[in-house]
Amino acid sequence: MEYVTVKDVEVPALGFGTARMDTDEERYRAVSTALEVGYRHVDTAQMYGSESAVGDALADSDVDREDVFVTTKLDNGNRSRERVRESTRASLDRLGTEYVDLLLIHSPNDRVSHEETLNAMNDLRDDGLVRHVGVSNFSVEQTREAEDLSEAPILTNQVEYHVRHRQDDLLAYCVENDVMLTAYSPLGVGGLLDDEALADVGERHGKTPAQVALRWLLQQPMVSAIPMSSRPEHVRENFDVFDFELSADEMHRLFERRGGLVDRLADALGL
Ligand code: NAP
């Protein structure tokens, strides 16, 4: 496993996503396989309906709770002071755990101020129910605002990021400000798997397009990735990304998929 070190916290760089599965049985099987294979970072959300299955899989696994980095996210209707507290307690019940490692605002608030939500999240952190706080689907400006508002550090901004969906400005901001960028839909929801450049680079390493798509993310500073799969063979395949490295040329070639690398980001990434 590789780690992202953010604000002195070590987060497993590869996590397991749990959206997009239909049944608890499917979710339980997938998360159990992921833990067995070696994933130590699991991404869930109040919205996904996967918290109970994640909790069951964690409880039945041989892996100790403290060895797994668990993230959940506040649903849109749970952003007031009271709802943050109540809904997080309900999440903890479903997850069968006394704390989550990371609690995120799932997407920017439209009815409640970010200040109110972040203050409530900070209180949960003070009470030990939440280790770290963060945001998701925030712009650079919103991330900066959240950093100003929150007493506790904003550990991550979780956003869509993959070779066909770039986040140049946000990534540069994250590298410069010690914030982790958690890449969701790192396989483009499966849409990247027929990408010719990924396949071509993969052939040289004996790896699949999915593995190259993940490797490209993991080699970028401050980036973690949370692919999801309901199939054991894909769960395994996506974890098998720590025994090869993309060259600087290959990294550049994949950045070329969408117009090359801007100078500011090239500097930040050391490419
Ligand atoms: P993704 O991980 O990019 O892609 C998942 C899709 O790819 C599934 O259909 C899966 O099908 C397929 N797949 C996975 N590995 C494969 C492989 N090795 N070969 C072939 N196909 C493969 O998409 P995602 O679910 O959108 O993103 C991952 C996680 O990010 C989510 O589960 C969720 O935890 C998080 N997320 C967060 C937000 C947010 O707003 N914060 C939004 C979206 C997602 P099979 O099941 O058949 O393998």
22, 143, 234: residue to mutate for ligand 1 pocket, most atoms within 8 A of CB: 234
Q: Which atom of ligand 1 is nearest to the CA of 30?
A: 46
Residue nearest to atom 24 of ligand 1 (CA): 185
CA 184 to the chain's CA centroid:
6
Q: Does 258 map to a domain? A: no
In a domain, 41, yes or no: yes
How far, in Å, from the CA of 27 to the mean position of ligand 1?
A: 13
- Which atom of ligand 1 approaches the CA of 188 most closely? 3
Please check whether residue 267 lies inside any domain of the structure: no
Q: Is residue 26 part of a domain?
A: yes
Instruction: Please give the distance, rounded to the nearest whole angstrom, from the Cα atom of residue 186 to the centre of ligand 1.
Output: 7
Residue 66 CA, distance from chain mean position = 18
Q: How many CB atoms lie within 10 A of CB 215?
A: 23
Is residue 15 a part of any domain in this protein?
A: yes
Q: Which pLDDT belongs to residue 93?
A: 98
Structural domains in the chain (count): 1
DSSP string, 88-134: HHHHHHHHT-S-EEEEEESS--SSS-HHHHHHHHHHHHHTTSEEEEE
Q: Rounded distance, CA 250 to CA 164, Å?
A: 15
CA of 15 to the centre of ligand 1 (A): 11
Instruction: For residue 105, list its beta bridge partners.
Output: 74, 135
Ligand 1 pocket, residues with Cβ under 6 angstroms: 17-20, 43, 106, 136-137, 158, 184-190, 193, 210, 226-231, 234, 237-238
DSSP-assigned letters across all residues of 170-228:
HHHHHHHHT-EEEEESTTGGGTTTT-HHHHHHHHHHT--HHHHHHHHHHTSTTEEE---
Residue 49: CB atoms within 10 Å: 17
CATH code of residue 124: 3.20.20.100
In a domain, 51, yes or no: yes
Residue nearest to atom 11 of ligand 1 (CA): 229
Task: Collect all residues with Cβ–Cβ distance below 8 Å to 162 and sequence separation of at least 6.
Answer: 183, 185, 186, 187, 188, 192, 213, 217
For the chain, residues with pLDDT lower than 70 are 257-260
Q: What is the pLDDT of residue 254?
A: 92
What residue owns the CA closest to ligand 1's atom 48? 229
Query: Which structure tokens are listed for 165?
Result: 């969906």
CA atoms lying within 13 Å on the CB side of residue 224: 29
Question: Which of 46, 185, 198 gets mutated to test ligand 1 (max ligand atoms within 8 A of its CB)?
Answer: 185
Q: Hey, which residues are catalytic here? A: 48
Residue nearest to atom 14 of ligand 1 (CA): 229
- pLDDT for res 132: 98
Nearest-CA residue for ligand 1 atom 38 is 184
Residue 255: inside a domain, yes or no? no
Domain assignment present for 44: yes
Cα separation of 94 and 79, whole Å?
19
CA–centroid distance, residue 19 to ligand 1 (Å): 7
Q: How many CB atoms lie within 10 A of CB 170?
A: 19
The parent domain of residue 63 ranges over: 3-188+223-230
pLDDT of 266: 80
Query: By 3-state DSSP, what share of the chain in percent is helix, strand and coil, each rounded to 5?
Result: 45, 20, 35
229 C-alpha to center of ligand 1: Å?
Answer: 6
